[in-house]
Amino acid sequence: MIRIINLATNKMRLESWHTVSVYCGRQGPRVPQNATALFGLGNPYRIPQYTREESVRLFRVLFEKDVVRKGTKIRSEFAQLYRIYKQCNLERKDLALLCWCAPLLCHTEILREWLLKCEQMEKKEVK
């Protein structure tokens, strides 16, 4: 299961034995020590320069362009995130994508969508 967790409001202990935490935000001082940090998957389109909807839409355009291009940071970090997700599935652990937005619209929803899409494509290839 993939959950999106807001670091500002979450009261759960992130070091739970059944959850693997991955921070998918911009680089900063408040990244949890027990989380894998993938800064390249942070949304560069900041609020209030953009509305939340514009920010997430622009991230989708950037992500979908770069995830298929060799040599981009987004592609390499998404590949790392997908490997983590697959390992979570093998170990029957949850994957927590950490951000500062949830439950509001957030770019991590695009990451979750793509993780599930890649998983479905992989299952079709195996058949």
Averaged pLDDT, 75-98: 96
> E-strand spans in the chain?
2-6, 19-23, 36-37, 94-99
Q: What is the pLDDT of residue 59?
A: 98
pLDDT bucket at 18, cuts 50 / 70 / 90: confident
Among 10, 107, 118, 17, smallest CA distance to 63 is for 107
User: What pLDDT band is residue 13 in, cutting at 50, 70 and 90?
Assistant: low
Residue 15: pLDDT over 70: no
Q: Which candidate, 121, 35, 124, places its Cα nearest to that of 81?
A: 35
pLDDT digits (tens, 9 = 90+) for 21-77: 999 999 887 787 788 999 999 999 999 999 999 999 999 999 999 999 999 999 999
112 DSSP β-pair partners: none
Q: What is the value of pTM for the model shown?
A: 0.91
DSSP string, 91-123: HT-EEEEEES-TTS--THHHHHHHHHHHHHHHH
Query: Worst-scoring range by mean pLDDT, 25-34, 59-68, 90-99, 105-114?
Result: 25-34
